């Protein structure tokens, strides 16, 4: 990373500029404005933008975070009008695509000369989806600084910023969590007295499950932080932000056993006493009783398992293990170790029958799960489903209702009874509701911006 240092004294003609290693920067426009567009009801901390803020600040730029849901278009317009913005960055998830387009229009209206840079999962998968000045494919930490340097030096940006070489995660600065106030994001700041922060300890996945875009987003390999770096971030979260618990959000944290063991051993040695949760479903076929007991000793309190369906045929088609007996033993082992278990399931899979679906609900009910989460299957960009013509899974544009219910499986049965429908009819009801409303629920929520 380039570290800039101030060259002093300034020559007369540079009295309104800063000179860094011979690069002239316009200091009147040195603020990078990072705009967060929240997705979902469970508002999580804008970790991606915090990840960009850290290297930008290290490189000497002023960085400001702006939450579009809180300030709206007018708030954005007012901020841009102050005239000190070098570039605006927006992180784009597919469900928020239309909102992001409108935010770009607002930027253009206020000052068409302020470059708008977009990045994030949707841009990585569909770089030409938005009318931005520059679309960054892949990781943003290095790109953000290079973009700022180019603009500060009066150079132009390419329309598409190509994927950088995979970054070494140990060399990245810790996300700058001052750029947005943690207290505003309730998922990371739960009301019952405990404070959580999200963290990612590895990027990428070597699998290619039919419904998942992780390999298309991060590339195929699995890059991890060293255990020492993971513990350093836990320690920083505890000492600087008073965090009690960390939500680990890797695509697949338990991909490599030695990563899990290394992190657990380092946490045990550190004696920090910070608990952690694996909320972004992990693969049960990469777990065994010994590993679960080790994770529990190292502070794991909640484990989300990607279970998907009870249909062995469907599991095989998706590229998952079909060993349901193993799942049962893992859930039992976790419960016995005092770790709460959430199960993630999908309904509406391609070719799924009513009896497959019923079996999935019954399977969820039979496991000792604290919580079960059912999503209606949808074809997200960058997934095998999105490219296969054989699939009958609805595209993501119509799926933003998500049909996701976080509930105890027993409650799903009760809800179906109350509505007078079979439990296997609930996904169709969710889609019918989305059609009836014309616009999916999620899209409506972000549209109110
Ligand atoms: C935490 C998380 C959640 C949380 C919190 C979400 C929230 N509201 O903020 C919860 C559990 C609620 C969630 C829900 C969903 N999620 Co989610 N989630 C994640 C997860 C695991 C971590 C996100 C994160 O913080 N990553 C770490 C940061 C550092 O990475 P990043 O965001 O990609 O940013 C980097 C680059 O993309 C780039 N970058 C990003 N923005 C920008 C901007 C600029 C200007 C630049 C230059 C660069 C740049 O630089 C960053 C640093 O390198 C990701 C997977 C993953 N591991 O990333 C999925 C992921 C983002 N989720 C995804 C999906 C599909 C969903 C759901 C729709 C699932 C569903 N069917 O219900 C819902 C939607 C929300 C809702 N309606 O409830 C997809 C998004 C795909 C897409 N096309 O947009 C992902 C990528 C998972 C996947 N592989 O499919 N999710
Ligand atoms: S679902 Fe999990 S295991 Fe499968 S490709 Fe995605 S991250 Fe990897």
User: What token pair was written down for 255?
Assistant: 């991909």
Identify the residue whose C-alpha is closest to ligand 1 atom 86: 121
- What pairs with residue 161 in β-bridges? 136
* Average pLDDT of the chain, as a whole number: 84
Taking the centre of ligand 1 as the mean of its atom positions, its distance from the CA of residue 216, in whole angstroms, is 13
Under DSSP, is residue 139 helix (H, G, I), strand (E, B) or coil? coil
Considering every ligand atom shown, identify the ligand nearest to the alpha carbon of residue 320 and give its number.
Answer: 2
Mutate to test the pocket of ligand 1, among 115, 121, 136 (most ligand atoms within 8 A of CB): 121
Handedness of CA 128, 132, 134, 135 (dihedral sign): negative
- pLDDT (tens digit, 9 = 90+) per residue, 97-146? 888 999 999 999 999 999 999 999 999 999 999 999 999 999 999 999 99
Domains of the chain are 12-161 (3.40.50.2300), 190-447 (3.20.20.70)
Q: Which residues line ligand 1 (CB under 6 A)?
A: 38-44, 47-48, 51-52, 89-91, 93-95, 117-122, 124-125, 136, 139-141, 143-144, 198, 200, 212-214, 217, 249-251, 280, 375, 380-381, 402, 404, 442
Task: Indicate the burial class of 235 (C-beta count within 10 angstroms; 0-12, 13-18, 19 or more).
Answer: middle
308 lines ligand 2 (CB under 6 A): no
Q: Is the pLDDT of residue 185 over 50?
A: yes
157 lines ligand 2 (CB under 6 A): no
Mutate to test the pocket of ligand 1, among 33, 54, 91 (most ligand atoms within 8 A of CB): 91
- pLDDT (tens digit, 9 = 90+) per residue, 305-358? 999 999 999 999 999 999 999 999 999 999 999 999 999 998 878 888 888 888
Considering every ligand atom shown, identify the ligand nearest to the alpha carbon of residue 207 and give its number.
Answer: 2
Report how many helices (DSSP H) and strands (DSSP E) the chain contains, helices first.
Answer: 16, 17
Residues 6+ apart with CB under 8 A from 191: none
Q: Residue 70: which pLDDT band, with cuts at 50, 70 and 90? A: confident
> Do residues 394 and 379 touch, judged by C-beta distance below 8 A?
yes
Identify the residue whose C-alpha is closest to ligand 2 atom 6: 212
Judged by average pLDDT, the poorest of 32-36, 191-195, 320-324, 377-381 is 191-195
pTM of the model: 0.89
Per DSSP, the residues of 196-212 read EEEE--EE--S---TT-
User: What token pair was written down for 48?
Assistant: 């991606």
286 lines ligand 2 (CB under 6 A): no
Considering every ligand atom shown, identify the ligand nearest to the alpha carbon of residue 220 and give its number.
Answer: 2
Identify the residue whose C-alpha is closest to ligand 2 atom 2: 252
């Amino acid at each position: 990373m380039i570290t800039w240092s101030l060259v002093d004294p300034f020559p007369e003609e540079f009295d309104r500029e800063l000179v860094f290693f011979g690069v002239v920067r316009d200091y009147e426009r040195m603020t990078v404005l990072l705009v967060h567009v929240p997705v979902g009801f469970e508002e999580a901390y804008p970790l991606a933008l915090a990840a960009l803020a850290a290297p930008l600040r290290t490189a000497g730029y002023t960085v400001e975070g702006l939450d579009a849901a809180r300030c709206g278009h007018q708030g954005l317009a007012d901020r841009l009008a102050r005239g000190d913005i070098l570039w605006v960055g927006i992180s784009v998830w597919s469900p928020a695509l239309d909102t992001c387009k409108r935010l770009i229009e607002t930027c253009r209206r206020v000052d068409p000369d302020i470059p708008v840079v977009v990045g994030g999962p949707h841009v990585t998968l569909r770089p030409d989806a938005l009318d931005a000045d520059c679309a960054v494919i892949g990781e943003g930490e290095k790109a953000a600084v290079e973009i700022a340097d180019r603009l500060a030096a009066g150079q132009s940006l390419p329309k598409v910023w190509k994927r950088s070489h995979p970054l070494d995660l140990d060399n990245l600065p810790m996300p700058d969590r001052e750029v947005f106030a943690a207290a505003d994001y309730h998922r990371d700041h739960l009301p019952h007295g405990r404070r959580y922060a999200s963290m990612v300890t590895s990027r990428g996945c070597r699998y290619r499950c039919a419904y998942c875009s992780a390999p298309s987003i991060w590339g195929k390999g699995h890059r991890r932080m060293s255990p020492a770096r993971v513990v350093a971030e836990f320690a920083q979260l505890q000492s600087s932000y008073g965090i009690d618990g960390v939500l680990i959000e890797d695509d697949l944290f338990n991909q490599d056993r030695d990563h899990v063991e290394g992190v657990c051993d380092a946490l045990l040695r550190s004696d920090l006493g910070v608990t952690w949760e694996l909320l972004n479903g992990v693969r049960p076929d990469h777990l065994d009783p010994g590993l679960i007991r080790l994770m529990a000793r190292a502070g794991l309190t909640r484990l989300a398992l990607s279970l998907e369906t009870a249909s062995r045929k469907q599991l095989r088609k998706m590229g998952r293990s079909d060993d349901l007996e193993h799942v049962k033993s893992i859930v039992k082992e976790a419960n016995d170790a005092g770790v709460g278990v959430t199960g993630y399931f999908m309904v509406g899979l391609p070719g799924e029958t009513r009896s497959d679906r019923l079996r999935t609900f019954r399977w969820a009910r039979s496991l000792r799960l604290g919580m079960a989460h059912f999503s209606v299957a949808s074809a997200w960009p960058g997934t095998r489903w999105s490219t296969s013509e054989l699939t009958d899974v609805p595209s993501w544009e119509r799926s933003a209702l998500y049909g996701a219910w976080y509930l105890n499986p027993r409650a799903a049965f009760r809800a179906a009874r109350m509505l007078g429908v079979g439990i296997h009819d609930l996904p169709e009801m969710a889609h019918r509701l989305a059609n009836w409303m014309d616009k999916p629920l999620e899209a409506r929520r972000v549209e109110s911006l």
